[in-house]
Amino acid sequence: MTKNGNSRFFYGYIIVLATFCIMVMSGGLWVIFGIFFKPMLTEFGWSRATLSGASSLWAFVMTLFGLGGGRLTDKHGPRLVVTVCGLLLGLGFFLMSRISTVWQLYLVYGVVIGIGMSGLWIPMTSTIARWFVKRRLLMTAIILSGAGLGTVIMPPLATWLIDSFEWRTSYIAVGLVALLVVTSAAQFLRRDPAQTQQLPYGVAQAEAGNPSLQAEGLSLRRTICVREFWLLCAVFICLWFSANVMWTHIVIHAIDLGVSAITAASIPAIMGGAGIAGRLIMGGAADRVGHKPILLTGFALLSLSLFWLLMTKELWGIYLFAVIFGFSLAGLATLEAPLIAGLFGLNSLGLILGSVELVATVFAAPSPMLAGHIFDTMDSYQLAFLICAVLGIIGVLLALLLRLPSSEGGKK
């Protein structure tokens, strides 16, 4: 619907398609370090803490620059931000094929690729929130299911590339694909419907119920004075701590248990496939019953899966873990941007979302290095997995404390 009331094709669906393609790439790149972990460990002989430290730095840099990317998206739109990030990803993965020292690994993977990844999450989810008021959770779930699809595609593809061409050449191939997909899709992005003389989908219904929240929203300065902002930060610390550990270490953990490298590479793919279902089912359910019941359910499943991982040593048990963990992790991640939009409005959505991610990452980013250090010290991931499982329980308790507006399923 245009501003003057004439019906025409809603450009928001092009935004959904473009962001879906970008998120496919984002999801694949998110898990790829775990696939390259074993061959790099074998060639360089570094400790697991040293190698996984690059993943910790990557997570921190990605989120730190995501804060700036969110602010730039709020002001200028996502097209320029995502294009620059796509160029950096292509450069970064090419340089990864040339590394030979720890400082090069940290600079290239931690900094260059970390900055490149910063434009593939926060700008995308905040842009979708601007285009859709009605069905916001569903559309967020759809684009984030692209990330799930990426985690299904990339691990077996990367494993095949490494087996066929060795890991350095494989990084070049990954960088070329990332460059082409991200920069091409970015050209179709627009900041908000006003740039196409349209209104957000469902804006009339939302304004009738709570116009001030949707039209304006809180500034970051006001938001950080709200109790729910800090509760959300704590909730996502619990989530991303466990996610970072699993994406980095689950493949090599399975290899340690005697699973072949090719079979182990299917574990993050299974997590990604289950994540697609998690995003769609939990996102759709949250639209109907509210965020809090889904938050509680998601964290309960997350914790349950991690306690199960502590006990299982068989491949089928690891696969079961992957299904439950991937389903709950992706479903919980889907709620983040819509939760923030519902609580604090759209005016500074990208900046607020980036701020929540930054606070969470300060505490969650070191988790891969911590898990690697635990293994180096104890020759086992058991303590690391136990910490993640306990954080899942803490996530349930924190979700109980959240007070959500009536449009999000009632004050809870």
**Which pLDDT tens digit goes with each residue over 112-169?**
999 999 888 778 877 887 888 777 777 877 887 888 889 889 988 999 999 999 999 9
More confident position, 362 or 250: 250
Q: What is the dihedral of CA 25, 246, 278, 10, to 10 degrees?
A: -20
- What is the structure's pLDDT at 132? 84
Interatomic CA distance for residues 217 and 38, integer angstroms = 47
* CATH number, domain containing residue 373: 1.20.1250.20
**Can you spell out the DSSP letters for 60-88?**
HHHHHHHHHHHHHHHHH-HHHHHHHHHHH
Q: What is the pLDDT of residue 412?
A: 42
Section 229-238 average pLDDT: 92
Across residues 62-78, what is the average pLDDT? Answer: 79
Q: Is residue 7 part of a domain?
A: no
Which of 104-113, 151-160, 244-253, 346-355 is predicted least confidently? 346-355
pLDDT value at position 2? Answer: 52
Q: Cα(4)–Cα(273) distance, rounded to whole angstroms?
A: 42
DSSP string, 90-132: HHHHHHHTT--SHHHHIIIIIIIIHHHHTTSSHHHHHHHHHHB
Side chain identity at 137, as an amino acid letter?
A: L
Report the pLDDT averaged over residues 164-189. 95
Of the candidates 321, 296, 319, the residue with the CA atom closest to the CA atom of residue 307: 321
Asked whether 125 and 337 are in contact (CB, 8 A), the reply is: yes
Summarize the chain as % helix, strand, coil (round to 5): 80, 0, 15
Q: What is the pLDDT of residue 405?
A: 66
> How high is the pLDDT of residue 409?
44
409: phi then psi, degrees, rounded to nearest 5: 105, 15
Answer whether 201's CB lies under 8 Å from 131's CB. yes
pLDDT band for position 250 (cuts 50, 70, 90) = very high
Q: What pLDDT is attached to residue 339?
A: 84
In a domain, residue 1? The reply is no
Q: Give the domain range for residue 351.
A: 12-202+210-408
**pLDDT at site 213:** 40
Model confidence at 86: pLDDT above 80: yes
198 within a domain of the structure (yes/no): yes
Judge whether 130 and 362 are in contact, CB under 8 Å.
no
The token pair at 124 is 């995308």
Structure tokens at 359: 């606070």
Cα 233 to its chain centre, rounded Å, is: 15
Calculate mean pLDDT across residues 242-262.
92
Nearest to 131 by CA among 66, 49, 200, 45: 200
Q: Is the pLDDT of residue 406 over 70?
A: no
- Asked if residue 4 is part of any domain, the answer here is no
With contact defined as beta carbons under 8 Å apart, do 112 and 15 qualify? no
Residue 320 has pLDDT above 70, yes or no: yes
Q: What is the pLDDT confidence band of residue 7, given thresholds at 50, 70 and 90?
A: low
- Per the CB < 8 A criterion, the answer to whether 312 and 253 are in contact is no
Residue 92 has pLDDT above 90, yes or no: yes
In a domain, 219, yes or no: yes
Whole-number CA gyration radius for the chain: 20
More confidently predicted of 100 and 286: 100
Lowest mean pLDDT among 158-167, 271-280, 323-332: 271-280
Domains: count for the chain: 1
Residue 118 CA neighbour count, 13 Å, CB half: 36
Mean pLDDT across the chain = 86
- Is residue 288 in some structural domain? yes
pLDDT at residue 385, rounded to an integer: 96
Residue 64 falls inside a structural domain: yes
| Mean pLDDT, rounded, for 41-68 | 89
